[in-house]
Amino acid sequence: MEINLLVLNLGNSRLALGAFAAGQLSSVKHVPHSLKGDWPAAIADVWRQVGELEEVAIAGASVNPPLEAEIEQAVLKATGKEIEWVGVGRDIDLPIKVLTENPKETGVDRIVNIAAAHESMGKACVVVDAGTAITVDCCNDNGDFLGGAIAPGVNLMLQSLHNQTAQLPSVTFRTPTGPFGTSTEGAMLQAAYHGVRGMIKELTENFATELGEWPEIIATGGDAPKLFEGWELIHAIAPDLTLYGIALAYASHYIKHPT
């Protein structure tokens, strides 16, 4: 992908930005939505890496429609350009076939993650995105998006336990140690950690039965290192997978629809 592109991913809890110069990703930044005031500086900083290059564009994916107008204004002010959004009926076509019941309702981040993983692996694969929610999605050898599963992220699990009980504490997720939770907090961490890993193993076994082969598993998302580092079931942790998927969607669209 020899493209010059500013890519952004507007998620549930943070904005991710990256610059592709001649197809190479650099200057990745993550800004939580609680610090939206930092968006303009982050956009301007990443834009400096590509803004003077030829035929530079801006591509984005969003699962957070209420914030789209705000990020569009921030990007336009910082760069003088508008965002081209990836999605059904939007500026940029989805890069792969989506075989869910309603592709328009399927999270675009899930789709571009699978597209990027398949582009790298060239075979059936699973993507686990461990963020605010945890998604576990699968494609076949052709790269067609088959669907998957959506669960609460580990911090949502822990927050729900605290909010819905009288005595369980507020806990921020971290990788637990040892086989036993020897405190209330430790027990909560053990359940979240092993619950997620067990879910992924069970889902992938189901996918493999349907596919007739074991798919490689790629992990991404902010909690992926704490959940999966060193786990033999995970082929790779790719923190910027979604940004690569958005860039792939942009490149695929303009190969099909040259201007």
Q: How many CB atoms lie within 10 A of CB 186?
A: 15
Q: At what angle do helices 68-79 and 39-47 cross, to 10 degrees?
A: 50
Using alpha carbons, list the distances in angstroms from residue 218 to 52, 87, 124, 211: 34, 22, 11, 17
Q: How many CB atoms lie within 10 A of CB 81?
A: 14
Catalytic residue among 109, 129, 137, 223: 109
Does 141 qualify as catalytic in the annotation? Answer: no
Dist. CA 11–CA 221, nearest whole Å: 10
- For 257, what's the count of Cα atoms within 13 Å in the CB-facing half-sphere? 8
Dist. CA 218–CA 50, nearest whole Å: 28
Confirm if 104 and 196 have CB atoms less than 8 A apart: no
Dist. CA 239–CA 227, nearest whole Å: 13
Dist. CA 126–CA 200, nearest whole Å: 10
Dist. CA 159–CA 225, nearest whole Å: 20
Going across the sheet that includes 14-21, the strands are 24-32, 14-21, 5-10, 57-62, 84-85
Residues designated as active site: 109
